[in-house]
Amino acid sequence: MAQAPCFDLVFFGGTGDLALRKLLPALYYRHRDTKDCSGWRIIAVSRQPMETAAYLELVHEAFQRFIPAKDFDEAGWQRFSTRIEYMSLDGLNPDDYGLLSHTLADSADRVRVFYLSTAASLFAAICENLAKAGLVTDLSRVVLEKPLGFSLESATAINEAVGRIFREPQIFRIDHYLGKETVQNLIALRFGNSIFEPLWHRASIRDVQITLAETVGVGDRGEYYDHYGALRDMVQNHALQLLCIMAMEPPSSIDPDEIRDEKLKVLRALRPFTPEDVRNKIVRGQYRAGAIDGKAVPGYLDETGIPEGSTTETFVSMRVDVDNWRWARVPFYIRTGKRMQERMSEIVINFRAVPHAILPGNDAGAVNRLVIRLQPDEGIELHVLAKVPGADMRVKPVKLDLDFAETFKTRQWDAYERLLMDVISGNLTLFMRRDELDAAWQWVDPIHAAWAAGSDAPKTYSSGTWGPTASSALIVRDGLSWKEET
């Protein structure tokens, strides 16, 4: 078992969905599997008046829903609960920080993490109030949840406000996709194995497809989602970060800034979209009524909190070009959406076909393919051609499948487990630097500007499908197809 350093972790938004569904369960697992947790202190804060005992009942009930029964241990919960206290605090009211300041007064020499699981519009005020209360020390860190801003302008304002209180190495801009075990394995696959590097460029790779698909709709997040849409909610952060890891040059070391420097180069090499490119290379869609798992579901415009006639996109697919030597003329396709046919996040790398097909079965353009599955089952598949048993020399596609759950019998860490421990240890590798965020917004903003200037509404698609038919047409124009259509 590992041993964690002493720390104080303060959750703003402690009664929110993220804290109850992801953050506190992640800490429960780490507490359960850590040898000495005597130096842990978790303080949940929100505006809701509540005693710590009542808050612990709320957390306990959430654990019954979000932690599998096989993983939950009542004795372990009792031990973990002793690390938690609750505090009623209005993040916008400087006078409310007195109790928090008193509680932390004797721990200035400990790692102090402020996790802002709130609306981004509150980040600046909370940080300013923390500073006024004397709570920001050299060992303090602040975690900012996405989406960080609504555009480059708003993100800049937030970063400048937070940056006046915290130094850049103290700011952890979190993207939970980067904490997934498979994303770590993408880095290991690329830079830990000599067999892939000679193939990882335009001469061997035909195209790359990144799919982040959800079967759920907007649920009770309609008001929030209608303000942001799929491009801001998924592409600007999750999808672009995966593209960066896939496309970046080998860093000289695994030092956080070495890796982030290489990701930044990819972001700056992304070909900007002109208004014409937005029309021809991007498909935006909005789900209508349909069926998921045999059950009828409403369309986006019928969801709670969605204004009549909303043109917010729930689906985006696009062709992206990386203008550098390694990836020249290799199309990267990004696709993300809600109410799709299958819950699935994956990166598909299609290699070029053999230059001259001599084997029966290989004359239909079959290609080798590397599939990196992020969810729901994390793993890696390598698709190759193998001989069919029998007298004839005929080949057919087969796959070599590495299922992480089967190969590694130990329980895999959840993304937030890894990221929270990285924050506490000060490891910035999996967190976005400010210049990365700026570059991503600079690339995304012109797309929204083109949509706002145009009159075209999103193309509708039935819930339970793979999105608008125009998404298939987008990739077919290049003589290719999405993986499930192959």
238 is catalytic: yes
What's the order of all strands across the beta sheet hosting 315-321? 395-403, 379-387, 369-375, 344-351, 205-213, 331-337, 315-321, 282-288, 459-462
Tokens read off for 137: 């020390």
Given a contact cutoff of 8 angstroms between Cβ atoms, the answer to whether 432 and 175 are in contact is yes
DSSP tag of 120: G
Give the rounded distance of the alpha carbon of 443 from its chain centre.
Answer: 18
Buried b (16+ CB within 10 A) or exposed e, 422-437: bbbeeebebbbbbbbb
Give per-residue burial for 303-341: e unless 16+ CB within 10 Å, then b: beebeeebebbbbbbbbbbbeeebbeebbbbbbbbbbbb
Helix-helix angle 152-163:434-453, to 10 degrees: 150
- Report the SS3 class of residue 254: coil
Q: Give the whole-angstrom CA distance, residue 139 versus residue 166.
A: 10
Query: Rounded to whole angstroms, what are the CA distances from 68 to 57, 59, 83, 374, 415?
Result: 18, 15, 21, 20, 16
CB of 11 within 8 A of CB of 41?
A: no
User: Which one of 60, 238, 383, 448 is the catalytic residue?
Assistant: 238
Nearest 10 degrees: Cα torsion 20, 22, 24, 25: 110
Contact (Cβ atoms closer than 8 angstroms) between residue 325 and residue 311 = no
Calculate the CA 242 to chain-centre distance: 8
Scored b (16 or more CB within 10 A) or e, 154-169 reads ebeebbeebeebbeee
- The answer to whether the CB of 166 falls within 8 A of the CB of 139 is no
Cβ(55)–Cβ(89) below 8 Å: no
Which tokens belong to 400?
């070599």
Q: List residues with catalytic annotation.
A: 238
